[in-house]
Structure 1
Amino acid sequence: MPVTACTPTGPAPFGPTPLSSSPTGPALTGHALTELRLLSGALADASREQLARVVSLIDDLPDRAGADRLLERARPRLREMNLPRPLGFTRLLFLPLDTLIVPPTAWRPGAAGVPRTALRAISAAVEAALGPEAGRLDALCAGLTAEQPLRVLELGRTLWPVAAGILPEIPPAGWEASGLPRREYPALRERCAAGWRHAVAIWPALQAASEGPPEVLAHQALEGAVAEGGAALEVVLRLLMVRASRPASIAALAARLSPPGSAQAARTVQGAVDEYLHRREAAGVPPADACGRARRAATDALAVCALADDFEASGLLGLPARRERLQAIRRAAEETCRASFAGLLSEELLAPLAALRRSGRPAARAAAPSLEEAARLLRRIEGSGRRLGGAESYDLALTAAAERVARDGSSAGLTHVERLRLVEMLAGPEAALRLVGWP
């Protein structure tokens, strides 16, 4: 049985990611379109290299509205893999609204999200209103990616505030292609414009979301939206909370900044809290291999612990339904952690170890690094998962795995030092000395 090393991946932002590019990109060759169709049939199970190829092909399409639908099933994996996303006019325009953008199947009239199918028509309307300036901005995007936040902000300062004021009041040309009723355009227009008006202020907080964000950045992001109220507060609050590691603190700060006695602001804040908890509870786990599931579960376990502490300190858990939802989020994270730990232990450590007993030393030499990476990941997910409960079960499983390595490692072709290292990673130095001993 071949042993595959667990390859590290980058962090995954929470929420949908728009994958749009310049409307003036080069047309694809017939061969490329054929390749795109072939690969798109199995995107959910495609390799990293295949997904990167498909995204590259779609990014080059002159009109990608239809092709974008091919990516819907694979978007969770794309976010998990954190592939670089070439910057273009449309992507630059919608990056501040990233977490509001949803698949058309998940969008409902009156909901806070912006359906992905509307992006093309809205972007084209902004481009038409900007005239030659749109082409200049698109040219400045060449060679850049969405993962360069300072350059994005530099260009966004020129685009976002202007875009907020030039969207037409009636549905633009091409709106029918979005598949959305014309009556939905005014609300979507208001939502996009509100986000763009405050995009420059909220961008630093979005980039520091994993750190809270810090209160000074959260204050900077919220103060203008709170003063404006209405759609601006609703949009900005949701954009910040989805990314933030301390979303309840964001909501509590918005409440403190709001005018005393403002019923509308209070409803907006409370609605954002309920929507956040509902969305977090309903969020599924994207498909991945055992290593990917383990990394995601370990990260999510820590995030859920921080989330629970944040809500407990915020004073926003007065309603029983909210506390129940938070408990459900915690239970789901605990179950995912346990399942991911078990899968990683079985697929990446015990099964390869058993296979090596039939292969001999050459295979063991190649497999040792991946076994050690699996052991490190097991300790990582154990350290996160035990904070959610069940520490004893993790300890028992790691001890049993260490004993298995000590007992079967030699016949699997592992050297004495390799067995010592693995057992130490799994159960600590004392167990390593007791079970394996010095060479």
Structure 2
Amino acid sequence: MSVNASAINKELLPFLQQSPSPFHATATMLTMLKAAGFELLQEEDVWQLQPDKAYVVTRNESSIIAFTTGRADPAETGIAMAGAHTDSPCLKLKPNAIKPHKAATQFAVEVYGGALLAPWFDRDLSLAGRVAFKRKNGELASALLDWQRAIAMVPSLAIHLDRDANTNRTINPQTQLPPVFALNQGEATTPTLDSLVADALSEQLGVDDFSELLAHELFLYDTQPPAMVGINNEFITSARLDNLLSCFLCTDAIRHAAQQEKGQFSLMVCNDHEEVGSASACGAQGPFLQSVLSRIAARFSHAEINQQSEAVERMIRRSLFLSIDNAHGLHPNFADKHDAGHGPLLNQGPVIKINANQRYASNSQSTARFVNICQRVKVPYQSFVVRSDMGCGSTIGPITASGIGVETIDIGVPTWGMHSIRETAGSQDAAYLAAALCDFFTSDTP
């Protein structure tokens, strides 16, 4: 099938803007899916799953699984599965977040994930994430907040005071990255995080009975909105393209699958904490996906109760998992950083990521299956292998493959500046991958 790039990008850019934290990304995806008719499930409830329906469930408000059910036994048909991750490298507030220092008041931050630090300087930064607080009546509550406007920055040191800045500079994340958000005018007027949160709760959510901030997971982000760039709008530039672009495409594709009447099982999972190792209850190394698959098999497999674990294994062995995460596009200024035969180009189609040491989960079988999909929908595709003298990153692909035993392929959209505060992708590539995903979720066999 063909997918219109303009239509995809018209929805993609607002999605990126509305998703400044994993919590907001999950909430945005949930809104999209509920609007498309997906029924929200709660993990603590008994699930009454029905054939030819669409369901969605979240964990920790930062990971999400959506699936469509079919009419056949999934142990006989398998499930078409795709996964991405909701988190991106950034600066995260420490528990004691306010740091008066000399003439300024700063946020105390730690680096979340493998962030490229230099681009964080001289940016207009805002704050977003989740807070847990106590109401005046003693009730515990939580909320998602997004300050939206620029409230902080990390000012550079003038080159006059650092003549080696362009030739020999390192960045100390403890001493040189704390963002400034106010002048320090004495203890009486120094803002507190409690006061910032109380004001935000009142302004954004109408909560006027705030008593005390108990905990928070707040992240700084660049307020510059996503944009189409290039003389012919060849590029998309935005924060968090890695990996919210993939999250959006998964959500859009399964939303499309739910509108079909083909009776197929399909599933998408977007996990938090990939950038820090995935080892959490809602990360890819946790039990979230396995739990949902077990509940699907328990409802739809024809096996006896004592054989349901076997039905799960049979279902997984007939499935294919697409691990979707951005790939390193060939940088025109640093072409020597790529293997000469494996430098993916922007706007030339999705990238199949391969690594001999299993940093990616692709093998010849899963690769052939994805190539077949691309050929079927007339989408170009490329391959990436890291240079043999460089280390290779990884994804949720090997974690999911080794965790549940599903055949997996690692793919993604080629990108420049991965893990920067602002990344660049080709404006056509999202549509290419969207076409392949839509076909994958609606074809007769995963």
TM-score by length of structure 2 reads: 0.26
Structure whose residues are more often strand by fraction: 2
Structure whose residues are more often helix by fraction: 1
Which of these two proteins has the greater Rg computed from alpha carbons?
1
TM-score by length of structure 1 reads: 0.26
Greater relative contact order (CA < 8 Å, ≥ 6 in sequence) = 2
